[in-house]
Amino acid sequence: MSTTVLQHLPSLPALRASDERLLAEELGLVATKQQIAVVRTLADELERCLVHGGAATALQEQLVQELARLGCRSIETAAAMAEKPADLAEQSGIHCVLAVVDS
């Protein structure tokens, strides 16, 4: 399997945010999606080997390792997404007023 270097261009909201959590969350999602692609590729190759009667021991071992990495990335990404950032508007002294319109 060849190694490809992928680059992620952050979204404008992530670049404009005053704290780095949104950017970190985006990068975590990108890393998780890349790991999913690796696991999917290995699973497809393993299935192909098993269907055609090929030896797949090394491939199975690699798939186990990549699934473990995916599990770790998934937990890290879920934890980052579950963190609620402090109210930045309140910290900076800027206050937002929401207008409630009766229908």
d(CA 93, CA 48): 60
The one-letter amino acid at 45:
E
Q: Is the pLDDT of residue 93 over 60?
A: no
Strand, helix or coil for residue 75:
helix
Contacts of 32 (CB under 8 A, 6+ apart): 70, 73, 74, 77
Structural domain spans, the chain: 12-92
End-to-end CA distance of the chain: 59
Q: What angle is formed at CA 42 by the lines to CA 38 and CA 43, rounded to 5 degrees? A: 115
pLDDT by residue (tens digit) across 33-88? 999 999 999 999 999 888 887 777 889 999 999 999 999 999 988 888 787 554 44
